[in-house]
């Protein structure tokens, strides 16, 4: 039964694929259902279980649409995309509620997810009038050199469930503004969010075949799509395991691919930190989105001098967090995405206690509140006395679990922070500018935050990480951001001397 005061029953959304401008079911007529993770007995969406025929048709449509779309002037492409962003903005509350119901994150974060999609839309629409190249001098007289940006071709976009409107928009807007055409395969758990977003692109006037939506499982539709010979590039956000498969395939076939994967992000709390601020930052970073952000902080390294003070205050704050349905205004933390995620988190409780011998401070199990029994809930969980060798220090859990580790000084804190395979986001709380600057230099992550949380990157900044988090690409805006993934650079040299001049000093 829904919780008291949250009985808003939502209509089940019948998702369709968009292939060559037409809304269609899977040829096999097979579908799958997605439940509300807070009330597993409520079906939020029913979507096509697509396979090879749908992927083949979508790739073919994207190939057919590519010449006209890539030849459309970028500012004109951008006008259509600007309209899509406006439509997403107009539909923000409807989409935000859907994010909450299909994915489970709390209302303010669900609306933030949609806001990130809108922001990306407006930013990338601006790219239509930039898409800048460079000019460079020639070593020869009467010769000019410039670079231009051109689209890569047909892109497969494969996105996760944790930001079900933002991450698709991180990829669709730049892919399209730079002139690529797209086959978009969203996570199976958030097909309706993807469908509602794609509907708005369609409504804004994106021509047929330019953006195609194919829903289904990663194992079937996703795997076939990323290996499809008609695909020129793959952009993926998700687990490192799947990313590796994509990387191996694209590497072997020399295809452009951008991978944004796991994280095991850290907050360092120095002895001179504002401890209350650090507590606020750590609660938000560890338990925002129920710990299901790739930027979530699942490690907190605290200077020994403020260890006890931080631990006590942090624990007090964590114990106040209220679990529940995302659209209940009293809820601080929603459920996990599905039963498998709860089981994985439970498995890590055993690892932490039996194998690692870490000390559990709170949580560690599903809540006992009978009102929550139909949802995929897990209590906010904190371990302490965690050392860098322990598995819970190193492995990504993607749930509401964080681990506190004691450090004797700044250097040890940085050493521990870097002692993992991932490198997405890190933060340090300190009032000492020298520590702040040194940490910014030394932390092996794509994102470094000073005196704030590890989550909440803004869309105009390049987003991504080092080590096993990524493969050198970045999402979003700024130099080195999405433009590098979705465009090829071409160098154009014009010799207007009337003779064949030779570079490299050749007479
Ligand atoms: C993710 O979890 O994959 O920085 C993305 C953040 C968000 C995006 C997270 N803007 O936390």
Q: Do 281 and 187 share a domain, yes or no?
A: no
Coarse DSSP helix, strand, coil percentages of the chain, rounded to the nearest 5 percent? 40, 20, 40
Structural domains of the chain, count: 2
Residue 395 within any structural domain of the chain: yes
Q: Tell me, what CATH number does 423's domain have? A: 3.40.309.10
261 lines ligand 1 (CB under 6 A): no
Closest atom of ligand 1 relative to the 459 alpha carbon: 10
Tell me how many degrees the CA angle 407-413-419 measures, rounded to the nearest 5.
Answer: 115
Q: Do 55 and 85 share a domain, yes or no?
A: yes
The per-residue pLDDT string of the chain (507 residues; one tens digit each, 9 = 90 and over) reads 344 445 556 799 999 999 999 999 999 999 999 999 999 999 999 999 999 999 999 999 999 999 999 999 999 999 999 999 999 999 999 999 999 999 999 999 999 999 999 999 999 999 999 999 999 999 999 999 999 999 999 999 999 999 999 999 999 999 999 999 999 999 999 999 999 999 999 999 999 999 999 999 999 999 999 999 999 999 999 999 999 999 999 999 999 999 999 999 999 999 999 999 999 999 999 999 999 999 999 999 999 999 999 999 999 999 999 999 999 999 999 999 999 999 999 999 999 999 999 999 999 999 999 999 999 999 999 999 999 999 999 999 999 999 999 999 999 999 999 999 999 999 999 999 999 999 999 999 999 999 999 999 999 999 999 999 999 999 999 999 999 999 999 999 999 999 999 999 999
Q: Tell me, what CATH number does 158's domain have? A: 3.40.605.10
456 lines ligand 1 (CB under 6 A): yes
The answer to whether the beta carbons of residues 52 and 28 sit under 8 Å apart is no
Residue 456 within any structural domain of the chain: no
Closest atom of ligand 1 relative to the 260 alpha carbon: 3
CA 78 to chain centre: 23
- The domain in which residue 418 lies consists of 265-450
Angstrom CA distances, 280 to 285, 386, 445, stand at 9, 21, 22
Q: Do 312 and 168 share a domain, yes or no?
A: no
Q: Where are the alpha helices (DSSP H) in 390-486?
A: 391-394, 410-418, 433-442, 482-486
| Nearest CA-CA partner of 371 in 337, 317, 328 | 328
Pocket test residue of 262, 462, 463 for ligand 1, highest count of atoms within 8 A of CB: 463
Q: Do 226 and 300 share a domain, yes or no?
A: no
Q: Do 432 and 305 share a domain, yes or no?
A: yes
Q: Do 34 and 54 share a domain, yes or no?
A: yes
Q: Do 209 and 337 share a domain, yes or no?
A: no
Q: Do 67 and 147 share a domain, yes or no?
A: yes
Q: Coil, strand, or helix at residue 317?
A: helix
159 lines ligand 1 (CB under 6 A): no
Residue 460 within any structural domain of the chain: no
Residue 222 within any structural domain of the chain: yes
Residue 243 within any structural domain of the chain: yes
Q: Do 340 and 414 share a domain, yes or no?
A: yes
SS (H, E, C) 215-255: CCCHHHHHHHHHCCCCCCEEEEECCHHHHHHHHHHHHHCCC
Q: Do 302 and 224 share a domain, yes or no?
A: no
DSSP string, 480-491: TSHHHHHEEEEE
CA atoms within 13 A on the CB side of 112: 14
Residue 23 within any structural domain of the chain: yes
Distance 423 CA to ligand 1 centre (A): 14
Residue 483 within any structural domain of the chain: yes
Residue 349 within any structural domain of the chain: yes
Q: Do 160 and 273 share a domain, yes or no?
A: no
162 lines ligand 1 (CB under 6 A): yes
Q: Which residues are catalytic?
A: 260, 294
Distance 19 CA to ligand 1 centre (A): 29
Q: Do 257 and 274 share a domain, yes or no?
A: no
């Amino acid at each position: 039964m829904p919780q008291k005061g949250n009985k808003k029953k939502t209509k089940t959304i019948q998702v369709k694929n968009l292939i060559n401008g037409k809304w269609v079911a899977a040829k096999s007529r097979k579908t799958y259902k997605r439940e509300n993770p807070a009330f597993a007995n409520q079906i939020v969406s029913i979507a096509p279980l697509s396979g090879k025929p749908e992927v083949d048709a979508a790739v073919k449509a994207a190939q057919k649409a590519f010449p006209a779309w890539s030849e459309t002037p970028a500012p004109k492409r951008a006008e259509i995309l600007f309209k899509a962003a406006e439509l997403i903005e107009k539909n923000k509350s409807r989409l935000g509620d859907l994010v909450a119901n299909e994915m489970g994150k709390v209302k303010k974060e669900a609306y933030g997810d949609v806001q990130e999609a809108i922001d990306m839309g407006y930013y990338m629409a601006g790219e239509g009038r930039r898409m800048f190249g460079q000019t460079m001098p020639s070593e020869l007289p009467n010769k000019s050199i410039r670079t231009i940006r051109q689209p890569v071709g047909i892109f497969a976009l494969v996105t996760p469930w944790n930001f079900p409107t933002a991450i698709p928009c991180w990829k669709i807007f730049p892919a399209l503004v730079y002139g690529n055409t797209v086959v978009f395969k969203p996570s199976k758990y958030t097909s309706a969010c993807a469908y509602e977003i794609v509907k708005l692109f369609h409504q804004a006037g994106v021509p047929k075949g330019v953006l195609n939506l194919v829903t289904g499982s990663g194992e079937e539709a996703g795997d076939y799509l990323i290996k499809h010979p008609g695909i020129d590039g793959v952009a993926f956000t998700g687990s490192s395991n799947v990313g590796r498969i994509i990387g191996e395939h694209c590497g072997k076939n020399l295809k452009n691919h951008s991978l944004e994967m796991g994280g095991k992000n850290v907050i360092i709390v120095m002895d001179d930190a504002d401890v209350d601020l650090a507590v606020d930052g750590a609660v938000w970073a560890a338990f925002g989105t129920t710990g299901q952000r790739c930027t979530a902080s699942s490690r907190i390294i605290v200077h020994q001098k403020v260890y006890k003070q931080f631990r006590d205050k942090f624990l007090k704050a964590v114990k106040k967090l209220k679990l529940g349905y995302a659209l209940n205004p009293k809820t601080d933390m929603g459920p996990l995405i599905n039963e498998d995620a709860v089981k994985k988190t439970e498995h890590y409780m055993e690892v932490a206690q039996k194998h690692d011998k870490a000390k559990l401070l709170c949580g560690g199990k599903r809540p006992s509140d009978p009102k929550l029994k139909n949802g995929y809930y897990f209590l906010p969980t904190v371990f302490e006395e965690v050392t860098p060798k322990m598995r819970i220090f190193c492995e990504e859990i993607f749930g509401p679990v964080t681990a506190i580790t004691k450090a004797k000084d700044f250097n040890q804190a940085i050493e521990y922070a870097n002692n993992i395979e991932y490198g997405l986001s890190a933060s340090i709380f300190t009032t000492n500018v020298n520590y702040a600057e040194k940490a910014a230099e030394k932390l092996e992550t794509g994102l470094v935050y000073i005196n704030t949380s590890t989550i909440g990157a803004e869309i105009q900044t390049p987003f991504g990480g080092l080590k096993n988090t990524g493969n050198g690409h970045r999402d979003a805006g700024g130099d080195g951001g999405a433009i590098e993934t979705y465009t090829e650079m071409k160098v154009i040299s014009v010799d207007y001397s009337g003779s064949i001049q030779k570079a490299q000093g050749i007479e």
